[in-house]
C-alpha cells in the first residue's frame, strides 16, 4: 500500500515545480499531479483502485471551475478521503475562503506562494507522519518519507517481537 | 480520527499459503494416523507441533495467533476436556490455559511495565543523553558509547523497543555525519548492539523468558542473577567484538566527533514514583539470593504498584505487547505438551546420543539456532528449539541449564538479514544501511558468536559454579 500525495494545481509550470520539489518523496510514496478538480477525482479513483491510499491533498485555491477550497470541503464527506491531510498552497485565497477551509475543509496547513522548497518538504513530511500515526499504520515501509524520530518512536507500539 | 477498519483480509504469499496448508493437513491428519511407539495423544501433539513449525516458519498467521492456537488445539485434542478420548492422566484445560499466566509471563509483564514506563517518562532517552557524555572526542569512542548504552537499555527493554528509542536519539547525529560509510556504521551499531547484548536478563528478550519458563517446567529454577552472571561474559565479548568489527569496517581512526545531547529528566512527582518503582524492582531482581523472593513475584510488584499509584494507567496496560506475551505462552505450552505426551522422547529417541560429544552437540544447537533465527523470528526459534534440546541432555554429557541458555542466547544471534529481527528492520528502513553491510556484519558475529558461545562459555559457567 502506497501513500499518495495529490498535487492539485492548474498552471503546468507551477505544478511541475511543486512535483519537482517533492521528488525526494519516493519509494512507498507516490506524488500524483492533477490539473483541475475533475482530474483529481479521477486520480483518486485510480489510486484507490490500485489498493493505495490518499494521504495528502496539496491544493491550489484558484482553479478553473471548482476551487481548491471547495474541493477540500467536498472531500470531507467522502469516507475514503476524510482522513487525508489537507494543505492549501496558494497566494490568492481571501479571508473568507481561508476561514471556510479551516472550519469546514479540515485544513491542516497553509503555505503561501511563492513557497520555500525547504518549508514544503517539512510540511509534507510532517503531514505524512501525522497521517500514518493517526491511522495506526505501521510506519516501517514509509520511514524514509516520514519524520523519522516520531515515526520510529511510534514503532514501539507495533508489537514487533525480538 | 479513528484508525482504518480493514475491509479485506491480509493477502498471503505463496509460501504462506503452503504453510497454512501444511498446518491444516497436520492438524487433521494427526487424528487419523497411527505412529508406532507413540500414543494417540502423542500423535495429536505431533500434529500440533508440525502445524506450529509450519506457521511460525512461514508466518502464515501472526506469530501470536500461532501461540494461542497451540493452546486451543491442546485443549481440544489432548486435555482432559478434549473432544476426543484421552488417557486419565491428561491435564485439565485450565492447566493449558494457565500457560497464559505462567510465572515467566508475569515476570515479563513486569519488564514491559518498566520498559513502557521508561518510554512514557522519557527515561530511556535521557539516560542515553547523560551516559553518552564521557564518550566525546572521537567517532570511534562515540560509537562505543552508543553501543554500550544500547546494551544497557536492552537489558530491561526488548531489543526492538531499545532500537526504536536509540534511533530517536541518534537521528540528528546520523544526519550530521557526512561520510556515508561512517553513517552506515553508526546506523548498524544500534541494532547490532541491541541484538548481541540484549540477552543479559530473563526479561531482556523473549527467547530468554522461554528458556527460563521451560527450565522451570523441568523443575529447574534459574534466578534473575544467575542468568545475568551467565550472560555477562557473553555480552562483554560480543559487544567488544562487534565494536572492533564495526570500527574496522566503517569508522576511520582519528575522526573527531562531538555528541551534544541534552538530558532533561522529568522531575514530576509521577515520574519520580516511576523511577523508584522501576529501580526498586530491578534491585529486588538482582538481590534474589538475599531475600529469596522469586523474580516472577517481584515482577508483579511494579504491575500493581504502577497501576495503584497511577503512574501507569489502564491505557498503558492496554498498550503492553500482549501478542509477545501470548507468543511466549504458546511456546511454553508447546514445550510442556511435547514432554507430557512423550513426543520429545519419540522424536529424539532414534539418535544415538550416547556416542555424541557434548561439545559437538552444543555447537550444533547454537549454529542451528543462529541459522533458524536469521530467517524466522528469534522468539519462534526459541519456542521450537528449546523444548527439543532439553530432551537429550540426560544422554549427552551436559546439563539442562547449559543447553537452554546456549540455545536461548544463540537465538538472539540470528540477525544477518533485514527480516531477521525487528531491530534490523527498523535500522534498514532508515535507508542508511546497504543490505550487504548488514549481512557481512551479521554473518560474522552470528557464526563466531555461536562458536564462542558453545565452546568457551559452558566451561566458564561450570568454573563459576553456575551450572
Taking only the tens place, the pLDDT of each residue in B315-370 is: 999 989 999 999 999 999 999 999 899 898 888 877 777 778 888 989 999 999 99
Instruction: Kindly identify which residue of chain A lies nearest to residue B379, measuring between CA atoms.
Output: A162
**Domain of A137, in residue numbers:** 3-158
Percent of chain B with pLDDT over 70: 98
Cell numbers of B376, please? 524466522
Residue B182 has pLDDT above 80, yes or no: yes
Burial, A15: exposed, middle or buried (Cβ in 10 Å; 0-12, 13-18, 19+)? Answer: middle
- Rg of chain A's alpha carbons, rounded to an integer? 15
In this prediction, residue B302 carries a pLDDT of: 97
Report d(CA A40, CA A71) in Å as an integer: 9
Query: A162–B205: do the CB atoms touch at under 8 Å?
Result: yes
Confirm or reject contact between A160 and chain B (CB < 8 A). yes
Chain A hits for B167, Cβ within 8 Å = 148-149, 152
Secondary element (H or E) of residue A7: strand A3-8
CB A51 within 8 A of CB A44: no
Q: Residue A56 has what DSSP assignment? A: E
Q: How many Cβ atoms from other residues are within 10 Å of residue B357's Cβ?
A: 11
Taken as a whole, chain B contains a residue count of 467
- Portion 100-139 of A in contact with B at CB < 8 A: 134-137
List A31's β-bridge partners, or say none.
A5
Q: Residue B169 — pLDDT band, cuts 50, 70, 90?
A: confident
Report d(CA B406, CA B348) in Å as an integer: 19
**Which are the contacts of A116, defined by CB distance < 8 A and separation ≥ 6?**
none
Give the model confidence (pLDDT) of B3-15 as tens digits.
556 677 888 999 9
Mean pLDDT value of segment A28-42: 94
Instruction: Kindly identify which residue of chain A lies nearest to residue B205, measuring between CA atoms.
Output: A162
CB A60 within 8 A of CB A10: yes
**Chain A interface disruption, residue of B156, B168, B198, B205, most A CBs within 10 A:** B168
Residue B295 has pLDDT above 90, yes or no: yes
Chain B hits for A143, Cβ within 8 Å = 426, 429-431
Cell numbers of B349, please? 529417541
Give the model confidence (pLDDT) of A90-149 as tens digits.
887 788 888 999 999 999 999 998 899 999 999 999 999 999 999 989 898 999 899 988
Report d(CA A19, CA A23) in Å as an integer: 6
In this prediction, residue A159 carries a pLDDT of: 60
Q: What is the mean pLDDT of chain B?
A: 92
Confirm or reject contact between A79 and chain B (CB < 8 A). no
Cell 489498493 found at: A51
Burial, B291: exposed, middle or buried (Cβ in 10 Å; 0-12, 13-18, 19+)? Answer: exposed
Here the ipTM equals 0.79
Residue B1 has pLDDT above 50, yes or no: no
How many distinct structural domains can be found in chain A? 1
Q: Residue B404 — pLDDT band, cuts 50, 70, 90?
A: very high
DSSP letters, B38-68, are --HHHHHHHHHHHHHHHHHHHTSS-HHHHHH
Confirm or reject contact between A95 and chain B (CB < 8 A). no
CA distance B29 to chain A (A): 31
- Portion 175-214 of B in contact with A at CB < 8 A: 198, 205-207
Q: Beta strand pairing status for A3-8 and A53-59?
A: parallel
Residue B395 has pLDDT above 70, yes or no: no
CATH code for position A88: 3.40.50.2300
Domain ranges of chain B: 13-98+331-340, 104-318
Q: Residue B126 — pLDDT band, cuts 50, 70, 90?
A: very high
What is the 3-state composition of chain B as percent helix, strand, coil, each rounded to the nearest 5? 70, 0, 30
In this prediction, residue B5 carries a pLDDT of: 67
Amino acid at each position: 500500500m502506497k501513500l499518495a500525495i495529490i498535487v492539485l494545481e492548474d498552471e503546468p509550470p507551477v505544478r511541475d515545480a511543486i512535483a519537482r520539489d517533492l521528488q525526494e518523496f519516493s519509494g512507498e510514496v507516490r506524488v500524483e499531479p492533477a490539473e483541475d478538480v475533475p482530474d483529481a477525482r479521477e486520480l483518486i479513483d485510480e489510486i484507490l483502485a490500485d489498493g493505495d491510499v490518499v494521504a495528502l491533498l496539496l491544493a491550489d485555491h484558484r482553479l478553473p471551475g471548482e476551487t481548491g477550497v471547495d474541493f477540500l470541503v467536498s472531500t470531507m464527506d467522502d469516507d475514503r478521503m476524510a482522513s487525508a491531510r489537507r494543505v492549501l498552497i496558494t497566494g490568492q485565497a481571501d479571508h473568507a475562503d481561508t476561514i471556510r477551509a479551516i472550519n469546514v475543509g479540515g485544513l491542516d496547513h497553509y503555505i503561501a506562494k511563492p513557497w520555500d522548497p525547504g518549508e514544503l518538504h517539512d510540511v509534507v513530511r510532517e503531514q505524512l507522519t501525522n497521517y500514518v500515526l493517526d491511522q495506526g499504520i505501521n510506519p516501517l515501509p514509509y520511514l524514509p518519507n516520514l519524520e523519522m524520530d516520531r515515526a520510529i518512536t511510534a514503532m514501539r507500539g507495533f508489537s514487533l517481537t525480538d | 480520527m479513528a484508525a482504518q477498519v480493514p475491509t479485506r483480509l491480509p493477502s498471503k504469499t505463496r509460501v504462506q499459503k503452503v504453510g497454512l496448508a501444511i498446518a491444516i493437513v497436520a492438524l487433521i491428519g494427526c487424528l487419523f494416523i497411527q505412529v508406532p511407539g507413540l500414543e494417540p495423544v502423542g500423535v495429536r501433539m505431533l500434529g500440533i507441533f508440525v502445524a506450529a513449525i509450519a506457521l511460525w516458519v512461514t508466518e502464515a498467521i501472526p506469530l501470536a495467533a500461532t501461540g494461542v492456537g497451540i493452546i486451543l488445539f491442546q485443549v481440544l485434542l489432548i486435555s482432559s476436556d478434549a473432544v476426543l478420548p484421552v488417557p486419565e492422566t491428561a491435564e485439565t484445560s485450565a492447566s493449558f490455559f494457565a500457560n497464559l499466566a505462567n510465572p515467566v509471563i508475569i515476570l515479563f509483564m513486569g519488564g514491559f511495565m518498566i520498559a513502557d514506563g521508561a518510554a512514557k517518562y522519557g527515561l530511556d532517552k535521557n539516560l542515553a543523553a547523560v551516559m553518552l557524555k564521557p564518550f566525546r572526542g572521537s567517532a570511534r569512542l562515540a560509537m562505543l558509547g552508543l553501543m554500550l548504552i544500547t546494551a544497557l537499555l536492552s537489558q530491561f527493554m526488548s531489543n526492538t523497543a531499545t532500537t526504536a528509542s536509540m534511533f530517536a536519539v541518534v537521528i540528528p547525529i546520523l544526519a550530521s555525519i557526512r561520510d556515508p560509510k561512517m553513517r552506515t556504521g553508526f546506523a548498524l551499531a544500534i541494532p547490532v548492539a541491541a541484538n548481541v547484548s540484549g540477552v543479559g536478563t530473563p526479561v531482556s528478550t523473549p527467547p530468554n523468558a522461554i528458556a527460563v519458563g521451560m527450565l522451570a517446567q523441568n523443575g529447574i529454577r534459574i534466578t534473575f542473577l544467575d542468568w545475568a552472571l551467565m550472560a555477562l561474559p557473553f555480552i562483554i565479548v560480543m559487544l567488544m567484538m562487534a565494536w572492533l568489527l564495526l570500527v574496522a569496517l566503517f569508522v576511520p581512526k582519528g575522526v573527531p566527533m562531538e555528541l551534544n545531547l541534552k538530558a532533561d529528566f522529568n522531575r514530576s512527582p509521577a515520574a519520580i514514583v516511576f523511577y523508584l518503582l522501576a529501580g526498586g524492582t530491578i534491585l529486588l531482581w538482582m538481590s534474589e539470593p538475599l531475600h529469596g523472593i522469586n523474580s516472577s513475584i517481584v515482577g508483579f510488584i511494579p504491575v500493581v504498584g504502577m497501576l495503584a499509584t497511577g503512574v501507569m494507567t489502564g491505557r498503558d496496560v492496554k498498550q503492553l505487547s500482549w501478542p509477545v506475551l501470548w507468543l511466549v505462552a504458546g511456546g511454553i505450552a508447546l514445550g510442556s505438551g511435547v514432554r507430557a505426551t512423550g513426543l520429545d522422547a519419540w522424536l529424539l529417541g532414534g539418535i544415538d546420543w550416547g556416542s555424541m560429544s557434548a561439545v559437538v552437540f552444543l555447537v550444533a544447537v547454537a549454529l542451528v539456532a543462529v541459522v533458524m533465527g536469521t530467517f524466522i523470528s528469534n522468539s519462534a526459534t526459541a519456542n521450537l528449539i528449546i523444548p527439543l534440546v532439553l530432551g537429550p541432555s540426560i544422554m549427552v554429557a551436559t546439563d539442562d541449564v547449559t543447553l537452554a541458555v546456549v540455545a536461548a542466547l544463540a537465538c538472539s544471534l540470528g540477525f544477518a538479514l533485514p527480516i531477521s529481527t525487528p531491530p534490523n528492520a527498523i535500522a534498514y528502513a532508515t535507508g542508511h544501511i546497504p543490505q550487504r553491510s548488514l549481512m557481512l556484519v551479521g554473518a560474522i558475529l552470528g557464526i563466531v558468536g555461536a562458536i564462542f558461545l558453545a565452546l568457551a562459555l559452558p566451561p566458564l559457567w561450570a568454573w563459576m559454579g553456575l551450572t
